[in-house]
């Protein structure tokens, strides 16, 4: 009886420690320090080429970019969970 009770207490303490050590999805920092005005290259394939953009804003998991094309700028939004690679040009340092 004592062994069963002590085992149950240890199991409960272990589950409590495990549940408090996990980081929720809301607490994860997906943005990786991305700031407005920063120039990035985003790639959705680890081996593929990137899409160049200037960051407008970061909202949660979404990144707003200003993309220059055909003589005019347009706004595009990307879900950072689908981005495989983010490159920052070395000239920004």
Report the distance separating Cα 70 and Cα 55, nearest Å.
19
| Beta strands in 45-93, from DSSP E residues, in sequence order | 51-59, 62-69, 72-79, 85-87
**Taking the CB of residue 83, how many other CB atoms lie within 10 A of it?**
17
pLDDT in tens, 24-47: 333 445 556 888 999 998 998 888
pLDDT band (50, 70, 90) for residue 75: very high
- CA-to-CA separations, 78 to 3, 20, 28, 66, 67, in angstroms, rounded: 55, 31, 18, 11, 12
CB 50 within 8 A of CB 43: yes
Structural domain count, the chain: 1
Q: Given pLDDT bands bounded at 50, 70 and 90, which one contains residue 8?
A: confident
Confidence of residue 78 (pLDDT cuts 50, 70, 90): very high
The CATH number assigned to the domain holding 9 equals 2.30.30.140
Report pLDDT for 67.
85
Give me the domain span that covers residue 11.
Answer: 2-92
Task: Give the chain's end-to-end CA distance (angstroms, integer).
Answer: 66
């Amino acid at each position: 009886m004592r062994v069963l009770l002590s085992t149950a207490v240890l199991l409960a303490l272990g589950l409590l420690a495990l549940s408090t050590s996990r980081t929720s999805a809301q607490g994860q920092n997906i943005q990786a320090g991305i700031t407005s005005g920063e120039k990035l290259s985003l790639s959705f394939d680890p081996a593929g080429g990137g899409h160049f953009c200037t960051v407008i804003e970061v909202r949660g998991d979404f990144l707003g970019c200003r993309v220059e094309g055909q003589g005019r700028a347009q706004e595009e939004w990307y879900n950072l969970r689908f981005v495989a690679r983010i490159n920052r040009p070395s000239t920004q340092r």
